[in-house]
A and B are shown apart, each in its own frame.
Chain A
Amino acid sequence: MAQISVCPYCGTGCQIVVPEKNEPFFVSGYNASPVNNGKLCIKGYTGLSYSFSKDRLRYPLLKNNEEFVRISWDDAIEIVADRLLKIREKYGPDAVAFQSSAKCTNEENYLMQKMARVFGTNNIDHCARSCHSPTALGLINTLGTGAATGSIRSLEGTHTFFIIGSNTTEQHPIIGSKIISEVRKGKKLIVADPRKIKLAEMADIHMQFRPGTDVALLNSLMYVIITEKLYDQEFIDNRTEGFEELREEVMKYDPLITSEITGIEPDLVYEAARIYATNRPSAIFYAMGITQHIHGTENVMNVSNLALITGNLGRYGSGIFPLRGQNNVQGSSDMGALSEFYPGYVRWDSDRIQKFSKLWNSSLPTKRGLTLSEMFDKAADGEIKAIYLMGENPLITEANIARVEEGIDNLEFFVVQDIFMTLTAAKADLVLPAASSLEKEGTFTNTERRIQRIFPVYDPPGEAKPDWWILNKVGSKMNLWKEYEGPEEIFNEIREAIYNYSGATYENIYPIGKQWPINKENPEGTEILHTKSFPLGRGKLIPIKFNPPSESVDGEYNLIMTTGRNYFHWHSGTMTRLSQILEREAPEPYVEISNEDARERNIRNGQVVHVVSRHGEIMIKARVTNLVPKGVVFIPFHYKESRVNLLVGENLDPISRIPEFKVVAVKVIP
């Protein structure tokens, strides 16, 4: 029998229909799904073939004299447990770090963080650090919940779409197409993006501002809204606090002044502000363009300020939509696979963690945990001795990968659990073969907080096992817990751990998922957050001062490089690059450079150039295009042939510790 499942790519979480085992393999969209209404993008249609690749890992592999040799699962689990316990004995629990994955299910992320904490350390983190950790921290600061405030369906009620730092049609195509359909009906669209993205073409206003100047731009929008009294006085009075302080800061950002910083004509800012504030309900969409900065968390809080003063929260069609990159980055963050948060965003240093001590029948670590990039840093310094990594490929995706490599090489023990022998897995001492999302049971939580189920339709290749199975065995081998029977039992423990999940059961979230909070007060889930009040009571308006990005151009490094993804590939490409069609569409790395910049440097389209930053150098083909403005170049990070993250320095947001992937000063030499 065919099964309803969830697409493994972006955070939209499109539901798919997967044919049964012996049928021809063709995925289609699930028509009844409120997420995608039967539609899919090219990654959904052609991108799932990786699951059947001959390159899948089949057996546990142990490195012996630089060669991997096949071992049994019993031995593999024994080795992991034994080595980790010995390292704990010798150096203490904080010498071990655990890295979870936004590609894995809620159940698996929950187990991974529980393993770390019961083992005795808060050194648990995952790639949400590099994408939406500023969202979790920023929105929890201002509203109390770090998640999208509305639903995908509610966009039907939106009158103005404001897209800042999200290439929605390429990275969340089904949400992007929803916006296109609404704009065709006459809704307003404002795009703020340094690149001329597809949505910019049909936008009423496109503000092509300089990378890293988001705070100045957002403050100027608020300057206009406040000076022209376009704010929602009632909402500000009844639902927020700190307006006076915000006003004081914002009044310093006359668009006339900030145009020097952002490069945007004041008139455009005025017009955008008026549309956003008056043609309500308005919804803001953002992604990595907002978060991947040293002021990422401040950017998020400033987005929140803008929505709060205009009363664009808590109403159908309004809201803030941080678009999640991975299919389960919302869920993996909810589960507490982040160093500073326990499940349900309980801070590691709060008294409320006692609840977990009881639930897990264990004492809990008292030290702050390391974040993703810190783990590799400390490994290079010799403080971290072992890393247990599940489903990530940091040797392509992390910033400053030369340092990451140094850290990995310095480890005493490195376990990687993956479905492929990635660049990172090849460095491991032990590789554990995992099942793909078509081969296991569990739940994913999408970008609109919808908890959805997946099912094992196919058998994993060889002896590969679902991640939850592996974690379950390793955890029980280390005496951290009594073996779970299966994902549903783990999910039921999650329901105890996270009140916002407590009302969800495997039965009631099938076939159509439900949006958290789902609990006693909201038994059917919650489509729109903050309708009456914020979890914090009042929404906090926090004045944000503009500070320049970590890197700026000078005479030598005279271009700003920004990184990102393209439509056809996914992160480090381990999945999409195995799809023949996707790989054909985008087979090789490239740097987008404007016509003017290319001409000045005598660079032809297709020519191989050197891109050099203060941190490293790569060779890559030039794509001369008008998609980027003069002064800005763009490189996607999918390609192991030219790893752009060799160029990205380790400049971290002091609050969320996300690296600034979006602003790197470079030079391009023919």
Chain B
Amino acid sequence: MIYSLNGHEIAELFERIKKDFETYGTIDVQGDVIFSKIEKYHELKIARSDKPPKEFLIGRNENVLTLPEPSKKAVFGVMSCDLKGFYIMDRQIYGKDPFYTIKRENTIFVNYVCTEPCKTGFCSAFGGPLMDDYQIQVVNYEKDKYVVYVNDKYDSYFKGFKQASNDEISKVENLMKRFNEKQEKHNVEGIENRIKWNSKLWDKYAKICIQCGACNYSCPTCYCFDLNDVGDERIREWDSCILAGFTRTSAGNPRENLSSRLRQRFYHKFVYYKKSRGVYLCTGCNRCTDDCPVDIEIKEVIDHDYDSE
């Protein structure tokens, strides 16, 4: 269902959800935006968080020897590009990774749809900020006016709120159309066929990459991890495919040099996942570039003229 709410009603919605869920949201910490537990809707700062919400479903470090009791969480203020990461990951790990799955099933993400392109994102290349898959999706299309798209599962929280009119819905649709026109264009379609194994890009990046791991840690779709037994726990920790140890084996390393590891990251995103799971492993959030200390541009990987090489 699609509802039409005002600011007061959104706050009311928060209170209703809070009865069943622990509530989290983006807050301002000295100018940075981070996820934190919140008790009141007005604590929420609607702005993209400085890191992705990934850790709500995949702990930075978590013990995977025993499945924890699920805790029900509702996370407000997730941006669409970040939420999309989970829907993309679902294709690979939902139902297979029990730790991810149990959290996925017990967490509501309330995503907010951008109405103006941000400085660096290129989500339009992947369909733009209005998502087809969502739990509760909020579009603040005019001051104090919200169109809220609701998955049937959560309809009960909207009792008494009025449905959005066709007029309101078309306003949102127009807004989205304008958004997609306005945003800088990057044509990702078909990159799986264009991209080149021997492209000079990989060496160019290897020369400057300092292997900080930021592109992996900040990515809303990177889900790779490492496992270590530490004392009586088996710790699963976020990993980075930029590091040599990621693929080192007793028989050597298939990706010994940095250039091949950087290439692997982009091939996983734009070739392998597309071919095996049907979608690109990228949402156009541009976080990997924003957080990269040496400005390796994912957009360059997309736009690069491989044929001329």
Q: Provided the pairs A31-B32, A42-B243 are in contact, do residues A26 and B50 lie with their beta carbons within 8 angstroms?
A: no
Q: Which residues of A (501-530) have their CB < 8 Å from a CB of B?
A: 511
Q: Which of A1, A170, A181 contacts B29 (CB 8 A)?
A: A1
Q: Is the CB of A585 within 8 A of B245?
A: yes
Q: Is the CB of A198 within 8 A of B210?
A: yes
Q: Say yes or no for B237: interface residue by CB 8 A criterion.
A: yes
Q: Is the CB of B213 within 8 A of A46?
A: yes
Which of B12-20, B108-116, B184-192, B290-298 forms contacts with chain A?
A: B290-298
Give Cα A45–Cα B60 distance, bound, in whole angstroms: 10
Q: Which residues of A (308-357) have their CB < 8 Å from a CB of B?
A: none
Given the complex, which residues of A lie within 8 Å of B217, measured CB to CB? 26, 28, 45
Residues of B in contact, count (CB < 8 Å): 42
Q: Is the CB of B32 within 8 A of A42?
A: no
Given the complex, which residues of A lie within 8 Å of B244, measured CB to CB? 585
Q: Is the CB of A30 within 8 A of B32?
A: yes
Q: Which of A39, A174, A181, A580 contacts B226 (CB 8 A)?
A: A580
Given the complex, which residues of A lie within 8 Å of B290, measured CB to CB? 38
Q: Is the CB of A39 within 8 A of B212?
A: yes
Q: Which of B27, B30, B210, B230 contacts A176 (CB 8 A)?
A: B210
Q: Say yes or no for B235: interface residue by CB 8 A criterion.
A: yes
Give Cα A178–Cα B294 distance, bound, in whole angstroms: 7
Q: Say yes or no for B211: interface residue by CB 8 A criterion.
A: yes
Q: Is the CB of A28 within 8 A of B245?
A: no
Q: Is the CB of B245 within 8 A of A54?
A: no
Q: Is the CB of B60 within 8 A of A26?
A: yes
Q: Is the CB of A581 within 8 A of B50?
A: no
Give Cα A44–Cα B32 distance, bound, in whole angstroms: 17
Given the complex, which residues of B lie within 8 Å of A458, measured CB to CB? none
Q: Provided the pairs A580-B226, A580-B230, A585-B245 are in contact, do residues A184 and B61 lie with their beta carbons within 8 angstroms?
A: no
Q: Is the CB of A180 within 8 A of B31?
A: no
Q: Provided the pairs A39-B291, A177-B294, A581-B237 are in contact, do residues A49 and B61 lie with their beta carbons within 8 angstroms?
A: yes
Q: Which residues of A (354-404) have their CB < 8 Å from a CB of B?
A: none
Q: Is the CB of B211 within 8 A of A42?
A: yes
Q: Is the CB of A38 within 8 A of B50?
A: yes
Q: Is the CB of B243 within 8 A of A19?
A: no
Q: Is the CB of A581 within 8 A of B34?
A: no
Q: Provided the pairs A31-B50, A45-B213 are in contact, do residues A173 and B293 lie with their beta carbons within 8 angstroms?
A: yes
Given the complex, which residues of B lie within 8 Å of A54, measured CB to CB? 230-231
Q: Say yes or no for B36: interface residue by CB 8 A criterion.
A: yes
Q: Which residues of B (47-69) have their CB < 8 Å from a CB of A?
A: 50-51, 55-56, 59-61
Q: Is the CB of A581 within 8 A of B243?
A: yes
Q: In the complex, how many angstroms separate the beta carbon of A166 from the nearest chain B beta carbon?
A: 14
Q: Say yes or no for A17: interface residue by CB 8 A criterion.
A: yes
Q: Provided the pairs A24-B59, A584-B245 are in contact, do residues A19 and B294 lie with their beta carbons within 8 angstroms?
A: no
Q: Say yes or no for B166: interface residue by CB 8 A criterion.
A: no
Q: Say yes or no for B207: interface residue by CB 8 A criterion.
A: yes
Q: In the complex, how many angstroms separate the beta carbon of A335 from the nearest chain B beta carbon?
A: 26
Given the complex, which residues of B lie within 8 Å of A198, measured CB to CB? 210
Sample (19) of A-B pairs whose CB atoms are under 8 Å apart: A17-B34, A19-B36, A26-B51, A30-B30, A31-B50, A38-B291, A39-B212, A42-B211, A173-B212, A174-B293, A177-B293, A181-B295, A201-B207, A511-B31, A581-B226, A581-B239, A584-B243, A584-B245, A585-B243
Q: A32-B30, A38-B291 are in contact. List 7 more A-B contacts (CB 8 A).
A: A2-B29, A28-B51, A40-B212, A41-B210, A180-B210, A181-B293, A581-B237
Query: What residues make up the interface of B, taking CB atoms closer than 8 Å to A?
Result: 27, 29-32, 34-37, 50-51, 55-56, 59-61, 207-208, 210-214, 217, 226, 228, 230-231, 235, 237, 239-240, 243-245, 248, 290-295
